[in-house]
Amino acid sequence: MLTSVAGVPVHYLVGDPTGPVDDAPTHVLVPPMTASAAGWVDLVAAMRELGPVVSADPPGTLAGHTGAPYRRGSRPKADAAFVRALLEHLDLRHVVLHSWSMGGLVALSAAELAPSRVSGLVLAAPTLPWRRTARFEALGWHTVGRAALAVGVPVAQLALRVPWVRDQATQRRAVETAEMFTGERASAVGGDPTLVAREQVAVFAEQLQGLDPRRLAGTVTAFASATAAMFVDQRSTMQLLDRVRVPVLLLWGTDDPLIDQPSHRLHAQRPGWTPHPIDGAGHLLPVERPDEYVAAVRAWMPSTSP
């Protein structure tokens, strides 16, 4: 579906509920930064038994259809402002925000921007701060890490302005994605990517074919934002987590190599947070195990009642 938010054309998916939904919240799925709503269309369908479902392409996605991409790439606060504007435009007042991976920071920020509309958060494999495991790790990230991000991001973005580099990066992304879903590169995301429905894999493949290489530079900014939140600017990220005033369901797969499970367990000790590890799942949890995802949300849902 198409609508217009603040004069910007926005593409979004809608899942109508499959049964009676009196007082049920609307589930708004926030994609990872630079990803599109179609990236978890299978979950949109599965979530309909819990109520109405909405997922939109934020500006700046690699293969989405929303207009006005960000000039400097996706950032959590920019995507969060978009989510708030979308909630206001659709007049959604009892919302559970769902997020995946780099979308976690977006959902957390959006909940703070729209406290009267958001009644719960589901964070699936979010990019949250990692625990420190060595004495000088913090110093290293604050010095060398910060400098590497400051220098590396503009250099990478400049390189991606070169057509040959963009084309090579696009081709490599397509090959690696195809290998991941056939199991050849399963270790990159953990779990069993072959469990992802064929229809969802076909959507991923179609998106890669329609990918605009000129938008690849935006992924650098998004990745740098997530890296900074996890390792460099942990204090400000932790303060954001501490300010959350709605129930939070924290989901992750026990075979996910891209998150730190002990850190997730520590984060989930906050009041109102519920940890829910899913045995054997990887980073593709929402599309690898959609039924278990929905079951976890269903069991947690009463805590979000207004």
Distances (CA, A) of 205 to 86, 210, 285: 27, 9, 18
Asked whether the predicted pLDDT for residue 33 surpasses 90, the reply is no
From edge to edge, which strands make up the β-sheet containing 8-15?
2-5, 8-15, 53-56, 26-30, 95-100, 118-124, 248-253, 273-278
Q: Is the pLDDT higher at 261 or at 151?
A: 261
Residue 251 pLDDT: 98
More confident call, 124 vs 135: 124
Low-confidence winner among 66-75, 107-116, 144-153, 240-249 (lowest mean pLDDT): 144-153
Task: Tell me which residue range forms the domain holding 174.
Answer: 2-304
User: What letter would DSSP give residue 119?
Assistant: E
β-bridge pairing 53-56 and 8-15: antiparallel
Q: Per-residue pLDDT averaged across 197-213, rounded?
A: 79
Q: Is the pLDDT of residue 163 over 90?
A: no
The answer to whether 126 and 97 are in contact (CB under 8 A) is no
Instruction: Provide mean pLDDT across the span 90-99.
Output: 96
- pTM across the whole model: 0.85
Pairing type for strands 248-253 and 118-124 reads: parallel
In whole angstroms, give the CA distance from residue 131 to residue 30: 25
CATH code of the domain containing 133: 3.40.50.1820
Distance CA 291, CA 264 (A): 22
Q: What is the DSSP letter of 211?
A: -
Distance CA 263, CA 275 (A): 11
Q: Which residue has the tokens 């940890």?
A: 275
Q: At what angle do helices 146-159 and 216-227 cross, to 10 degrees?
A: 170
Over the stretch 105-122, which tens digit does the pLDDT of each residue have?
999 999 999 999 999 999
Res 219 pLDDT > 80: no
Of all residues in the chain, what percent carry a pLDDT higher than 90? 49
User: Residues, the chain, total?
Assistant: 306
Tell whether the model's pLDDT for residue 80 goes beyond 90: yes
Strand boundaries in 24-100, DSSP class E: 26-30, 53-56, 95-100
- H or E element that contains 13: strand 8-15
Percentage above 70 pLDDT, the chain: 75
Mean pLDDT for the chain?
Answer: 82
pLDDT value of residue 185:
58
Cβ–Cβ < 8 Å for 176, 183: no
- pLDDT band at residue 204, thresholds of 50, 70 and 90? confident
- CA gap 251, 98 in Å, rounded: 10
Distance, CA of 250 to CA of 271 (rounded, Å): 12
Q: How many domains does the chain have?
A: 1
